[in-house]
Structure 1
């Protein structure tokens, strides 16, 4: 089963990455966690996203398209980073996320979403 593991954005992450000693320690801890995922054969891809101020949204309305420049207001609805994992089941994904270092200073949230597989469409 493939899952996308989404690190939700926070007000701090939307300010952009700042190389503080705390941020660097967090990145080192996350690097060790990623190494564990890789060694377990679970990790398929991972990356962090720049703040929404660097992004754009395109709104669709019939044939019309409207480009909306970031930053976007609802921080709690934004994604700051992601992993793509291949796991046995959702329980295994949850177990791995519970081992993850806190990805943000202060409270943060990680969401796990299964990807559609070809069998889902047949």
Structure 2
């Protein structure tokens, strides 16, 4: 099973405050453990929302709004994509994640969501559609 592990933005990350050298070392050690265990598929931090945009869809109307966005607690700060045997295994890995500590009196969290697999869609997802997805995945893998 694949899981997307979402780290939340903080006031500091939204302000562009970069982690200290020690934080890079600590996080690097954790990420290397994921690599060594063969579970890590991808991991990256995200730039502050001030460098991003949102697209709102209302029927045929699309409205683009440039960042920054105000609700820091709702913003994604980074992500991991991992392969694990179960949600429980993923949770055990990320209970050990050395996330940056927010300011005093502030809580943060990591959100874990299972990624859909073809079999999750049942008969609504035809053999032709599955084949098309597999071809796209293969093309992406070849270009990366």
* Moved >6 Å (runs of 4+): none
Contact 1:7 1:103 in 2 (8 A): no
TM-score (norm 2): 0.79
Q: CA separation in 2, counterparts of 1:108 and 1:25?
A: 20
Give the 5 Å matches for 1:73-84: 73-84=70-81
Number of residues of Structure 1 aligned to a counterpart in Structure 2: 119
Q: Which has the higher contact order (CA 8 A, sep 6+)?
A: 1
Q: Does 1:92 align with 2:83?
A: no
Equivalent position to 2:63, from 59, 66, 69: 66
Instruction: State the match for 1:3 in structure 2.
Output: 3
Q: Does 1:37 align with 2:25?
A: no
TM-score (norm 1): 0.92
Larger gyration radius, structure 1 or structure 2: 2
SS of aligned partner of 2:35: helix
RMSD: 1.2
Higher normalized strand content (fraction of residues): 1
Higher normalized helix content (fraction of residues): 2
